[in-house]
Amino acid sequence: MDLDTVLKDASAKMAKSRDLLKEQFSGLRTGKASPALVENVPVTYYGTPTRLRDLANISIPEPRLITITPYDPSALGDIAKGIQAANIGVTPMNDGRVVRVPIPELDEERRKEIVKVARRHAEDARVSVRNVRRDANDAIKALQKDGKISEDQRDQSLKRIQNDTDAAIAKIDAELKAKEAEVMAV
């Protein structure tokens, strides 16, 4: 393994941590309908856990309503059960052709709970980025110890990893701040 590989891997892993955070944030309810709220809900379909987006068409006909039209009409009951079991604070209604999921207004207490969950996700992402930094630093120090890079290269690389870490954490904090503002907006 060479220095460029270590640096590129670290950057890629930090970006993946941020991407995962964005995906987790998209699944948090904000009081308005979004396909991201239900698309990753696991549904037991013929005994196999399957993501909802693989079983049905998800659409938003109104700002506070999600409609789910399954590709296989026999899956309607399973979809409704899956959404209910996901415990995302919504109650699905099965009318025999589609599953309607009305999105209720969020009360202040529920908004605060969602913000706590968002903060927990953000902290997990920060920890992940710091773990990537630690692993990259260890790899760089090992390269220097083995004589593959000079002390100056080691110092420059450690500084670059730290700068990448600081930038990634700043982006995570910005995502969190935006999500908090979105959730708390009435």
Helical spans, DSSP H, in the chain:
3-26, 76-85, 108-145, 151-184
Residue 163, beta-bridge partner list: none
pLDDT digits (tens, 9 = 90+) for 71-109: 998 889 999 999 888 877 788 999 889 999 998 877 888
The answer to whether the predicted template modeling score (pTM) of the entire model surpasses 0.85 is no
pLDDT digits (tens, 9 = 90+) for 30-51: 667 788 888 888 998 888 899 9
Q: Are 45 and 38 in contact (CB under 8 A)?
A: no
Report in angstroms the alpha-carbon separations of 112 from 31, 108, 179.
13, 6, 12
| pLDDT band for position 14 (cuts 50, 70, 90) | very high
Q: What is the CATH number of domain 3-26+107-184?
A: 1.10.132.20
- The reply to whether CATH 3.40.50.970 applies to domain 35-102 is no
DSSP 8-state code for residue 87: T
Q: What is the pLDDT of residue 130?
A: 97
Nearest one of 57, 78, 77, 52 to 67, comparing CA atoms: 57
Length of the chain counted residue by residue: 186
Average pLDDT, the chain: 89
Q: What is the pLDDT of residue 132?
A: 96
The full set of domain ranges for the chain reads: 3-26+107-184, 35-102
pLDDT digits (tens, 9 = 90+) for 147-159: 899 999 999 999 9
Q: What is the pLDDT of residue 144?
A: 92
Q: What is the pLDDT of residue 31?
A: 67
| pLDDT band for position 29 (cuts 50, 70, 90) | low
Distance between CA atoms of 68 and 97, rounded to whole angstroms?
A: 9
Distance between CA atoms of 92 and 94, rounded to whole angstroms?
A: 7
Q: Kindly report the CA angle at 40 between 34 and 42, in degrees rounded to 5?
A: 130
| pLDDT above 80: residue 184 | yes
